[in-house]
Amino acid sequence: MSRRYDSRTTIFSPEGRLYQVEYAMEAIGNAGSAIGILSKDGVVLVGEKKVTSKLLQTSTSTEKMYKIDDHVACAVAGIMSDANILINTARIQAQRYTFAYQEPMPVEQLVQSLCDTKQGYTQFGGLRPFGVSFLFAGWDKNYGFQLYMSDPSGNYSGWKAGAIGANNQAAQSMLKQDYKDEITREEAVQLALKVLSKTMDSTSLTSEKLELAEVFLSPSGNVKYQVCSPDVLSKLLVKFGVTQPAAETSWFKLICISFQ
């Protein structure tokens, strides 16, 4: 039955479903997962990097985390080429608002503006939905720290803790059990790493397979976006008991350093 209605994004099935939008959400389910947690003093984003080959040159830039403006960042799950288009669109919109009003764009207004673009690709013929979901983390003077989740349909909603990508349902249920109000940023990092370690397809959790970013206020009162380095992330994994220190591989690291 669905084959008669899934050739166009603009055609509803008799059950009231848009199959192409649902297929886009299925594509996101095969991507590396990402988790966002709202704490009382910041927002934590953790993402899983999919390492497809040992021969692939690892990028020095982040793969899952992107800074949109000084006060907003996002985590991505899905088709990265689609995500790049939307991220550039969001950056331009944020800069236009700042240029026009001389103040940062409110977080929800920025998210809503981007989701309006995503919704347009589900309503007009000849277009396909963006195969990407976002977790937006930000701070503004109106509502403080905020966490939003959006999907290919153009819907968005505010969350205290959320997950996108592979195994997001399992991660969401774990977050629902373990999340508590008034959680600190350090506790949020611990919870995010714990949930990701139990829901990832990989057997071992290492800093090469993860990205961790935080949005928080500096002592001077400015919004700060910070991405954890691999060394710091490795120490956090050991500190929170997610992985064991790899003392036996230290000789291999020394050999690698000597050849650099």
Look up residue 207 and give its amino acid: S
Cβ neighbourhood burial of 67 (10 Å; 0-12, 13-18, 19+): middle
Domain membership of residue 55 (yes or no) is no
Domain membership of residue 186 (yes or no) is yes
Pick from 231, 234, 218, 246: which is nearest to 42 by CA? 218
pLDDT at 254: 40
The pTM (predicted TM-score) of the whole model is 0.87
Domain membership of residue 188 (yes or no) is yes
Cβ-contact 93, 110 below 8 angstroms: yes
Domain membership of residue 251 (yes or no) is yes
Is the pLDDT at 252 greater than 90? The verdict is no
Strand order in the sheet with 42-48: 161-164, 34-39, 42-48, 210-217, 223-227
Per-residue pLDDT, averaged over 4-14, amounts to 74
Residue with tokens 């349902």: 169
Domain count, the chain: 1
Domain membership of residue 68 (yes or no) is yes
Lowest mean pLDDT among 16-30, 44-58, 81-95, 223-237: 44-58
The domain spanning residue 100 has which CATH number?
Answer: 3.60.20.10
Q: Confidence band (pLDDT; 50, 70, 90) for 52?
A: low
Residues 234-254 as b/e (b if ≥16 CB within 10 A, e otherwise) read bebbeebebbeeeeeeeeeee
Q: Confidence band (pLDDT; 50, 70, 90) for 209?
A: confident
Domain membership of residue 39 (yes or no) is yes
Per-residue pLDDT, averaged over 80-100, amounts to 96
Domain membership of residue 53 (yes or no) is no
Residue with tokens 């956090």: 236
**What does the alpha-carbon distance between residue 28 and residue 135 come to, in Å, rounded to a whole number?**
13
Does 164 or 16 have the greater pLDDT score? 164
pLDDT at 17: 83
Per-residue pLDDT of 150-185, as tens digits, reads 999 999 999 999 999 988 999 999 999 999 989 999
Share of the chain above pLDDT 70, in %: 87
Domain that holds residue 134: 2-48+60-259
